[in-house]
Amino acid sequence: MIRICQNCGAKNRIPARYLAGTGKCGSCKSPLPPGAEPIEADTQLFDDVLRETRVPVLVDFWAEWCGPCRMAAPDLHAIAQEMAGRALVLKVNIDEHPELASRYGVQSIPNFLVLRNGHAVGQYTGVRPRAQMRGWLEAA
Protein backbone atom coordinates (compact mmCIF):
# COMPACT_ATOMS: atom_id res chain seq x y z
CA MET A 1 0.00 0.00 0.00
CA ILE A 2 1.30 3.45 -0.89
CA ARG A 3 0.58 6.46 1.33
CA ILE A 4 1.42 10.00 0.19
CA CYS A 5 3.07 12.34 2.71
CA GLN A 6 0.92 15.44 3.24
CA ASN A 7 4.03 17.50 4.02
CA CYS A 8 6.44 16.73 1.15
CA GLY A 9 4.35 14.62 -1.28
CA ALA A 10 6.71 11.63 -1.11
CA LYS A 11 5.25 8.18 -1.74
CA ASN A 12 5.72 5.79 1.17
CA ARG A 13 5.19 2.03 1.00
CA ILE A 14 3.29 0.87 4.08
CA PRO A 15 3.32 -2.87 4.96
CA ALA A 16 -0.08 -4.38 5.80
CA ARG A 17 0.77 -4.71 9.50
CA TYR A 18 1.20 -0.92 9.77
CA LEU A 19 -1.84 0.26 7.76
CA ALA A 20 -3.76 1.18 10.93
CA GLY A 21 -0.77 2.78 12.64
CA THR A 22 0.98 6.13 12.55
CA GLY A 23 4.34 6.13 10.83
CA LYS A 24 6.96 8.55 9.55
CA CYS A 25 7.64 9.72 6.01
CA GLY A 26 10.82 8.17 4.63
CA SER A 27 11.83 11.52 3.12
CA CYS A 28 10.94 14.32 5.52
CA LYS A 29 10.21 12.27 8.68
CA SER A 30 6.80 13.96 9.12
CA PRO A 31 4.11 11.84 10.77
CA LEU A 32 1.99 9.70 8.45
CA PRO A 33 -1.46 9.29 10.01
CA PRO A 34 -3.30 5.97 9.88
CA GLY A 35 -5.34 5.30 6.76
CA ALA A 36 -8.77 6.94 6.93
CA GLU A 37 -10.31 5.67 3.69
CA PRO A 38 -11.55 2.31 2.46
CA ILE A 39 -8.74 0.35 0.81
CA GLU A 40 -9.28 -1.39 -2.54
CA ALA A 41 -7.89 -4.85 -1.93
CA ASP A 42 -6.62 -7.42 -4.38
CA THR A 43 -5.93 -11.00 -3.31
CA GLN A 44 -2.33 -10.25 -2.24
CA LEU A 45 -3.19 -7.24 -0.09
CA PHE A 46 -6.21 -9.03 1.37
CA ASP A 47 -4.08 -12.00 2.41
CA ASP A 48 -1.37 -9.72 3.80
CA VAL A 49 -3.92 -7.82 5.92
CA LEU A 50 -5.52 -11.09 7.03
CA ARG A 51 -2.14 -12.43 8.16
CA GLU A 52 -0.51 -9.31 9.60
CA THR A 53 -2.95 -6.73 10.94
CA ARG A 54 -4.00 -6.79 14.59
CA VAL A 55 -7.00 -4.43 14.35
CA PRO A 56 -10.52 -5.45 13.30
CA VAL A 57 -11.18 -5.36 9.56
CA LEU A 58 -14.49 -4.70 7.82
CA VAL A 59 -14.51 -6.14 4.30
CA ASP A 60 -17.05 -4.87 1.78
CA PHE A 61 -17.64 -7.34 -1.06
CA TRP A 62 -19.15 -5.19 -3.81
CA ALA A 63 -19.47 -4.66 -7.57
CA GLU A 64 -19.57 -1.59 -9.78
CA TRP A 65 -23.03 -2.46 -11.15
CA CYS A 66 -24.63 -2.96 -7.70
CA GLY A 67 -26.93 -0.11 -6.65
CA PRO A 68 -27.10 -1.06 -2.96
CA CYS A 69 -23.28 -1.30 -2.93
CA ARG A 70 -23.09 2.30 -4.16
CA MET A 71 -25.59 3.30 -1.46
CA ALA A 72 -23.36 1.78 1.26
CA ALA A 73 -20.15 3.42 -0.02
CA PRO A 74 -20.52 6.80 1.79
CA ASP A 75 -21.15 5.03 5.11
CA LEU A 76 -18.08 2.82 4.61
CA HIS A 77 -15.99 5.91 3.89
CA ALA A 78 -17.30 7.57 7.08
CA ILE A 79 -16.57 4.43 9.14
CA ALA A 80 -13.01 4.31 7.78
CA GLN A 81 -12.53 7.91 8.92
CA GLU A 82 -14.20 7.40 12.32
CA MET A 83 -12.26 4.19 13.06
CA ALA A 84 -8.87 5.30 11.64
CA GLY A 85 -6.12 3.77 13.75
CA ARG A 86 -8.54 1.33 15.42
CA ALA A 87 -9.84 -0.63 12.40
CA LEU A 88 -9.46 -1.02 8.65
CA VAL A 89 -12.07 -1.03 5.89
CA LEU A 90 -11.28 -3.10 2.79
CA LYS A 91 -13.27 -3.12 -0.43
CA VAL A 92 -13.15 -6.23 -2.62
CA ASN A 93 -14.64 -5.96 -6.10
CA ILE A 94 -16.14 -9.42 -6.70
CA ASP A 95 -15.93 -9.05 -10.49
CA GLU A 96 -12.17 -8.48 -10.29
CA HIS A 97 -11.49 -10.93 -7.43
CA PRO A 98 -14.11 -13.70 -7.53
CA GLU A 99 -11.74 -16.06 -5.70
CA LEU A 100 -12.05 -13.96 -2.54
CA ALA A 101 -15.83 -13.90 -2.78
CA SER A 102 -15.84 -17.66 -3.27
CA ARG A 103 -13.51 -18.18 -0.29
CA TYR A 104 -16.13 -16.61 2.01
CA GLY A 105 -19.25 -17.98 0.31
CA VAL A 106 -20.44 -14.60 -0.94
CA GLN A 107 -23.55 -15.18 -3.04
CA SER A 108 -25.19 -11.77 -2.85
CA ILE A 109 -23.90 -8.25 -2.42
CA PRO A 110 -23.29 -6.03 -0.64
CA ASN A 111 -21.78 -8.54 1.73
CA PHE A 112 -19.83 -7.46 4.79
CA LEU A 113 -17.26 -9.61 6.55
CA VAL A 114 -15.73 -8.71 9.92
CA LEU A 115 -12.28 -10.16 10.62
CA ARG A 116 -10.28 -10.17 13.84
CA ASN A 117 -6.75 -11.63 13.99
CA GLY A 118 -7.26 -13.20 10.58
CA HIS A 119 -10.49 -14.99 11.48
CA ALA A 120 -14.05 -14.20 10.43
CA VAL A 121 -16.15 -13.12 13.41
CA GLY A 122 -19.24 -12.01 11.49
CA GLN A 123 -20.72 -11.90 8.00
CA TYR A 124 -23.75 -9.83 6.95
CA THR A 125 -25.64 -9.38 3.69
CA GLY A 126 -27.44 -6.26 2.53
CA VAL A 127 -27.14 -2.56 3.22
CA ARG A 128 -26.95 -1.84 6.95
CA PRO A 129 -26.98 1.41 8.94
CA ARG A 130 -23.60 3.01 9.59
CA ALA A 131 -24.01 2.69 13.37
CA GLN A 132 -24.56 -1.05 13.04
CA MET A 133 -21.45 -1.50 10.87
CA ARG A 134 -19.38 0.56 13.30
CA GLY A 135 -20.76 -1.59 16.13
CA TRP A 136 -19.48 -4.75 14.41
CA LEU A 137 -15.98 -3.30 14.42
CA GLU A 138 -16.17 -2.04 17.99
CA ALA A 139 -17.38 -5.47 19.18
CA ALA A 140 -14.55 -7.22 17.33
pLDDT in tens, 18-28: 999 998 999 99
Does the residue 14 lie in any domain? no
- 8 carries an active-site annotation: no
Question: Domain containing 60: what range?
Answer: 36-139
Catalytic residue among 5, 8, 28, 66, which?
66
What CATH number does the domain containing 106 carry?
Answer: 3.40.30.10
Does the residue 31 lie in any domain? no
Residues forming beta bridges with residue 16, ordered by sequence position: none
Does the residue 28 lie in any domain? no
The SS3 call for residue 99 is helix
Q: How many domains does the chain have?
A: 1
Which amino acid is located at 129 in the chain? P
Catalytic residue among 5, 8, 28, 69, which?
69
pLDDT in tens, 74-129: 999 999 999 999 999 999 999 999 999 999 999 999 999 999 999 999 999 999 99
- 25 carries an active-site annotation: no
Q: Residue 1's pLDDT band (boundaries 50, 70, 90)? A: confident
Does the residue 8 lie in any domain? no
CA distance 25 to 56: 25
Does the residue 26 lie in any domain? no
